[in-house]
Amino acid sequence: MDVVVVGSGPNGLAAAVTMARAGLDVTVLEEQGTVGGGARTLDLGLADGVVHDVCSAVHAMAWASPFFRAFDLEAHGVELVTPEVSYAQPLPGGRAGIAYHDLGRTVDGLGVDGAAWRGLVGRLSEHAPDVVRVGLGDKRSIPAGLLPGGAMTAARFGLGVLEQGTRRWDDRFTGDVAPALLTGVAAHAITPLPSLAAAGTALLLAALGHAGRGWAIPRGGSGAITAALVADLEDHGGRVVTGHPVRSRADLPPAGCYLFDTTPRTLVEVLDDELPARARAALSRFRYGNAAAKVDFVLSGPVPWTVSEVALAGTVHVGGTRAQMAAAEAEVAAGRHAERPVCLVSDPSVADPGRVSGGLRPLWAYAHVPAGSDVDVTEAVTAQIERYAPGFRDVVVASRCVPAAEMSAHNRNYLGGDISAGAVTMLQMVARPTAWPDPYATGADGVYLCSASTPPGPGVHGMSGWLAARRALRERFGIRVRSVFA
């Protein structure tokens, strides 16, 4: 066997597809009984015919990722549907910030801060490919194709991060709607606010909300992306073996190369003394972050948002004002549960009506909580939504919570509920998982790390797997990747 990939998340499958297309014999080993890691759509048994996205649900980067553009998701049968509203931020007093896919409509709706939004987010969205090159690179080299044309965009992005990642983050805005709208996006980083890492997350994702396919939703669920990758892998002679945990070196079949779509902690546990002491120490220092607890709902109808436009959004950030979200995230960082946690909510049927079955629809929700929390947050999430959608309780037919402490049961990369597979800090976004020149190296010959614990970090983009596989192809097999997706 040429290649073994440990873990079948989007990055593991991206690595496997890349290696298989290069003509290598590839096997993917997956601990779970189903494939996909953070991109699975399953029947949870809550209601007949209603399926739920286990982790990721909305894919702002699926259409923009250089890997998925080369792979061509749509040519592989994945239909990415674009909600009219990329994301929304309900606010106290019956107000809301609405980020339409259409930039001009968003600017008009933000009134006094419309011009400020255009100057910060809009200008980046107009140069989305350059923003993607900056945000989804290996953090060790100048992104290919960026210079000279994209230098101005890169500089603008950097200045925006410095502005929105510090206590000067309100200087640009006059009102409170636009700041809250952007902070809801920053909160995806599950880190104290403001911070440079959260600002980078916000500007990348917010810009993509107005570009290309926006915050797209795969028709049928996130599992459609996984199915396309697995089909292509099998078409090129590769295979996925489920129900195969890798806990030690003895669980790995002989191969010329190994790629781990796992956390550094798992890699260290598996390889143990095979890693040089210096490498083992460096990988063991990698820090894990705050957490998310998941709540899956089944509803008898749409969420009755007070502001009707919020119902058009594929993603709703429920946390109130910028100050309220910053306070809630500070509580989580201090190891306490916020009384009113930041919640992410998505009704995929907004863009994909086929997700409604027998009049019932899934609702996907996360609440930010301290790492390792064993608290059932169903009531906290329900109360948060009810504040901005009175009557929400009346449409809830069924629900299920997965506390943060149990998130790793369906994905071992989510240690303590850290769905980012590592703390999102500026240091750990640049030096992720170590400060070594090659972020995918492990210190062991022929072994690479390719998970979200490596650059560019969290998200369903496949880039960590693709970038690691390209290095492995070149270093282990003398193969250049340019012809792989020709």
In this structure, which amino acid lies at residue 305? W
pLDDT attached to residue 148: 64
Backbone angles phi, psi at 40, to 5 degrees: -125, 145
Domain spans of the chain, in order of start: 3-39+64-77+218-287+421-483
In DSSP terms, which residues pair with 364 in a beta bridge?
A: 296, 346
Question: How far, in Å, CA of 122 to CA of 181, rounded?
Answer: 14
Question: How far, in Å, CA of 186 to CA of 205, rounded?
Answer: 9
Backbone angles phi, psi at 354, to 5 degrees: -65, -15
Q: What is the DSSP letter of 24?
A: -
| CA-closest candidate to residue 260, choices 33, 421, 459, 132 | 421
Distance, CA of 375 to chain centre: 23
* pLDDT digits (tens), the chain, 486 positions: 999 999 999 999 999 999 999 999 999 999 999 999 999 999 999 999 999 999 999 999 999 999 999 999 999 999 999 999 999 999 999 999 999 999 999 999 999 999 999 999 999 999 999 999 999 999 998 876 665 668 889 999 999 999 999 999 999 999 999 999 999 999 999 999 999 999 999 999 999 999 999 999 999 999 999 999 999 999 999 999 999 999 999 999 999 999 999 999 999 999 999 999 999 999 999 999 999 999 999 999 999 999 999 999 999 999 999 999 999 999 999 999 999 999 999 999 999 999 999 999 999 999 999 999 999 999 999 999 999 999 999 999 999 999 999 999 999 999 999 999 999 999 999 999 999 999 999 999 999 999 999 999 999 999 999 999 999 999 999 998 665 665
3-state class (DSSP) for residue 4: strand
pLDDT attached to residue 4: 98
Question: How far, in Å, CA of 19 to CA of 165, rounded?
Answer: 38
| CA-closest candidate to residue 55, choices 32, 76, 26 | 32
| CA-closest candidate to residue 15, choices 202, 262, 295 | 262
In this structure, which amino acid lies at residue 484? V
How many other C-beta atoms can be found within 10 angstroms of the C-beta atom of residue 474? 12
User: For every residue of 246-302, which 3-state class applies, written as one string?
Assistant: CCCHHHCCCCCEEEECCCHHHHHHHHHHHCCHHHHHHHHCCCCCCEEEEEEEEECCC
| CA-closest candidate to residue 6, choices 183, 244, 296, 286 | 244
247 exposure class (CB count in 10 Å sphere: 0-12, 13-18, 19+): exposed
In this structure, which amino acid lies at residue 350? V
Both structure tokens of 454: 């490596």
DSSP-assigned letters across all residues of 427-479: HHHHS-S-SSSSTTB-SSTTEEE-STTSTT-SSS--HHHHHHHHHHHHHHH--
In this structure, which amino acid lies at residue 465? G
| CA-closest candidate to residue 414, choices 456, 375, 377, 371 | 371
| CA-closest candidate to residue 187, choices 316, 380, 348, 287 | 316
Both structure tokens of 280: 């083992």
Domain 3-39+64-77+218-287+421-483 has CATH 3.50.50.60: yes
How many other C-beta atoms can be found within 10 angstroms of the C-beta atom of residue 149? 11
Q: Are strands 80-81 and 217-218 parallel, antiparallel or unpaired?
A: antiparallel
Both structure tokens of 343: 């919640």
Contact 80, 73 (CB under 8 A): yes
Question: How far, in Å, CA of 383 to CA of 387, rounded?
Answer: 6
pLDDT attached to residue 143: 77
pLDDT attached to residue 149: 66
Q: What is the DSSP letter of 222?
A: T
Q: What is the largest CA-CA distance in the chain?
A: 63
Question: How far, in Å, CA of 27 to CA of 33, rounded?
Answer: 16
Residues in the chain: 486
Question: How far, in Å, CA of 298 to CA of 228, rounded?
Answer: 27
**Residue 238: partners with Cβ closer than 8 Å, 6 or more residues away:** 16, 17, 19, 20, 25, 26, 27, 28
Contact 443, 437 (CB under 8 A): no
In this structure, which amino acid lies at residue 141? S
| CA-closest candidate to residue 28, choices 351, 292, 288, 246 | 246
Distance, CA of 411 to chain centre: 14
3-state class (DSSP) for residue 315: strand
In DSSP terms, which residues pair with 257 in a beta bridge?
A: 3
